[in-house]
Amino acid sequence: MRYFLIPFSFIYWLVISIRDFCYARHIFKEHKLGAKVISVGNITWGGTGKTPTVLLIAETLMKEGHRAAILIRGYGNDEQGLLSKLAGATPVIVGKDRRRSGKEAIARYSLDTVLLDDGFQHKRLRRDRHRLHRRYGSFW
C-alpha cells in the first residue's frame, strides 16, 4: 500500500511547492488583518502540543495587556468547546476562511493579536513576529 501512495505523495508535494513559490514571489497575495498574526503549527498531525502552545501564548499575551483571540478551522470535533473552556477570557473563533473570521473577530473584540492554531498551511494571512519569538527563539 505504501508504494501505491508514493505518486500521490509526490503530486501533493508538487502542488504545495508551487503554491508556496507563488506566495513567496507575491503571485498569490497575503492579506493583512489589521492586527498581529501569530501562527502555531508544524507539518505533523495531532499530538505535538500545538493547542497547548497556543493557550500558553494567549495567556502570556493577556498578561502583557494584549487583546487576543484564537482562530481555529474547526474539524467537526469538540475542539472549540475545549479551547473555549481552557482559554478563559480569550475568544475562540471557528471558521474555514481565517481571513474573514479574523477580520470579524478584530472588529467584534477590538483585538490587537490573532493566534492561528495549526495555521502554518494557511498562507493567505500575513504573519507577524512578536517579541515572544525573540524571547523564546524559533520554538515560538
Is there a single domain that holds both residue 22 and residue 57?
Answer: no
Is there a single domain that holds both residue 91 and residue 123?
Answer: yes
Is there a single domain that holds both residue 98 and residue 70?
Answer: yes
Number of domains in the chain: 2
CATH code, domain with 52: 3.40.50.300
Average pLDDT of the chain to the nearest whole number: 83
- CA atoms of 45 and 118, how far apart (whole Å): 9
Is there a single domain that holds both residue 17 and residue 43?
Answer: no
Owning domain of residue 17: 1-29
Condensed to tens digits (0 to 9), the pLDDT of residues 57-96 reads 999 999 999 999 999 987 766 778 888 888 888 999 998 8
Is there a single domain that holds both residue 25 and residue 35?
Answer: no
| Per-residue pLDDT at 109 | 95
Please give the full DSSP string across the chain, using - where no structure is assigned: -HHHHHHHHHHHHHHHHHHHHHHHTTSSPPB--SSEEEEE--SS-SSSSHHHHHHHHHHHHHHTT--EEEEE---SSSHHHHHHHHHTTS-EEE-S-HHHHHHHHHHHHT-SEEEEET-TT-TTBPP---HHHHHHGGG-
Mean per-residue pLDDT, 35-56: 80
Contact 77, 111 (CB under 8 A): no
Is there a single domain that holds both residue 25 and residue 75?
Answer: no
Which are the contacts of 77, defined by CB distance < 8 A and separation ≥ 6?
none
Among candidate residues 91, 116, 85, the one with its CA nearest the CA of residue 105: 91
| Per-residue pLDDT at 40 | 84
- CA atoms of 92 and 7, how far apart (whole Å): 38
Contact 57, 139 (CB under 8 A): no
